[in-house]
Amino acid sequence: MGVFGVQLVCTMVMSSVLSKVMPHCSPAQWLLCGTGLSYYLHPSDDQLRDKKKDTSKSKNNKSVDNNNDGSFIVLPKNINVNLQKAPITQEEVHQLRYFSDYQWLLDFAFCALVLYVATEVYLFVNPEQEEVNLSMVWCLLLLLFILKVMFSITSVYFESGSGDGEKALVVLALFSYLLLAMILLIISEDKLELGLDEAYTNFNASATQFMASQDITSVGVMNKMSCKAIVAVVCAVTGACFTFPGMRYGKMHWDAVKIYQSRLWIQVLLNVSFLAPALASLFWVRPLARHYLVTHTWANYSRPLLSTETFALVRVVAVLIACVLRLLVLPLYLQVYLDMARTKLEEQRTHAGKITNKSIQKQVASVFYYLCVVMLQYLLPLLLTVVLALMLKTLGGLHWSSLSNPRGFVSAECSLEEELLLGVAPSAKPEAGT
């Protein structure tokens, strides 16, 4: 208890909650069943047969019905099928593909985030406590689970025999992201703050010191270009795995903007959440962010607006805010995806030809069947970003208390005008002659 203290108790409690409470009160199930989502029921054979009698009077179509047992019906593609909506229930979601992976990942992520918040509050209240941060263990496990599910979904495109187009697209994205990563990694740190040069220097020095203590003769672990090449490959693989999630998100955003074009506040929220990650990434462009917030001194100020530590924490907070905005609009995007069943049938009516009842039913039912896959494609990039941001905050030695003193110096060093602008009470000055 002297090493971990309260954190060990919180970890044990959260482990019990994960194993005993989460199966009965799951945040993953609530996202599917408690946010008002509804899906289209696939039409039955009787409904399609009645619809065909109303719309088709040709003799050939009638003969097709007479030559089979009624389970196989040939319909014109321009048939107008009335689909019925139904709310999503807990009994139905268990049949969805990847539901077990989705539920486990979301429930574990919820517990890990709750434990992280509890640990941060405890360490904020007791800053003198020097304990091992057990929340990082949970974050590391969550990171491994995210990568496992991410690779599992991507591997489906390579395991199926009819997915040649998907395979080619993933491979193309892999090499495209590899080229892009190499271009970004050769940009100077004065332009793009990736921090790899400093990280490589610290890692190489620590590794050299460790090998020297073990009487191992070496001039270093690896050169800088090899280290950057490994980072580029990791980024390329991650980008390739997120190719189809990115395309799915873009399609849902495009459809959502068209559907909610008459509701201004929803459109604003959708577009802000769409652009938020790009805006947050601008904090790593040195001429746009650090120069004006940390280096440059504005008029009427004797110091920059933010200290170095506060600026690093602000970047983490900006990333977390972008992820929260994406999470807020999740129900809107999911409903747009579920409505795609109706959109598919409307697009099908513009084509000539015949289609079977099984094809129509499969076309409608597959949208709901792959709902958990779409959820994972949407949430995996968010969870990966959140975990890496939280680990950067903790392992980078950043403290929430720096937000209360963003400029990194005491009010005694401020001028009177700066104290008033910051909302700090002017310091008392001794009277003359005292």
- According to the model, what pLDDT value does residue 117 have? 92
- According to the model, what pLDDT value does residue 348 have? 83
Whether 374 has a pLDDT exceeding 50, the answer reads yes
Whether 23 has a pLDDT exceeding 50, the answer reads yes
- According to the model, what pLDDT value does residue 268 have? 94
- According to the model, what pLDDT value does residue 1 have? 44
Whether 75 has a pLDDT exceeding 70, the answer reads yes
Whether 39 has a pLDDT exceeding 70, the answer reads yes
The band of 218, judged by pLDDT with boundaries at 50, 70 and 90, is low
- According to the model, what pLDDT value does residue 15 have? 87
Whether 264 has a pLDDT exceeding 50, the answer reads yes
- According to the model, what pLDDT value does residue 355 have? 84
Q: How many CB atoms lie within 10 A of CB 325?
A: 18
Q: Please state the rounded mean pLDDT for residues 400-414.
A: 63
- According to the model, what pLDDT value does residue 422 have? 46
190 versus 423: the higher-pLDDT residue is 190
- According to the model, what pLDDT value does residue 415 have? 47
Whether 411 has a pLDDT exceeding 60, the answer reads no
Whether 25 has a pLDDT exceeding 70, the answer reads yes
Whether 62 has a pLDDT exceeding 50, the answer reads no
Whether 29 has a pLDDT exceeding 80, the answer reads yes
Per-residue pLDDT tens digits for 339-356? 998 888 888 888 878 888
Q: Please state the rounded mean pLDDT for residues 264-290.
A: 93
- According to the model, what pLDDT value does residue 63 have? 44
| Residue 404 token pair | 């209360």
Q: Give the whole-angstrom CA distance, residue 208 versus residue 211.
A: 5
Percent pLDDT > 90 in the chain is 41
Whether 103 has a pLDDT exceeding 90, the answer reads yes
Percent pLDDT > 70 in the chain is 86
- According to the model, what pLDDT value does residue 4 have? 55
- Sequence letter at residue 263: R
Whether 128 has a pLDDT exceeding 70, the answer reads yes
Q: Please state the rounded mean pLDDT for residues 272-289.
A: 92
Q: Please state the rounded mean pLDDT for residues 387-394.
A: 94
Query: In whole numbers, what is the pLDDT of the chain averaged over residues?
Result: 83
- According to the model, what pLDDT value does residue 161 have? 63
Three-class SS string for the chain? CCCCCHHHHHHHHHHHHHHHHCCCCCHHHHHHHCCCCEEEECCCHHHHHHHHHHHCCCHHHHHHHHCCCCCCCEEECCCCCCCEEEECCHHHHCCCCCHHHHHHHHHHHHHHHHHHHHHHHHHHHCCCCCCCCCHHHHHHHHHHHHHHHHHHHHHHHHHCCCCHHHHHHHHHHHHHHHHHHHHHHCCCCCCECCCHHHHHHHHHHHHHHHHHHCCCCCCCCCCHHHHHHHHHHHHHHHHHHCHHHHHHHHHHHHHHHHHCCCCHHHHHHHHHHHHHHHHHHHHHECCCCHHHHHHCCCCCCCCCCCCHHHHHHHHHHHHHHHHHHHHHCHHHHHHHHHCHHHHHHHHHCCCCCEEEHHHHHHHHHHHHHCHHHHHHHHHHHHHHHHHHHHHHHHHCCCCHHHHCCCCCCCHHHCCHHHHHHHCCCCCCCCCCCC
Q: Please state the rounded mean pLDDT for residues 83-98.
A: 89
- According to the model, what pLDDT value does residue 70 have? 55
**pTM of the full predicted structure?**
0.85
Choose the weakest-confidence range: 3-12, 182-191, 231-240, 274-283: 3-12
77 versus 365: the higher-pLDDT residue is 365
Per-residue pLDDT tens digits for 285-341? 988 888 888 887 788 777 888 888 889 999 999 999 999 999 999 999 999 999 998
Whether 172 has a pLDDT exceeding 70, the answer reads yes
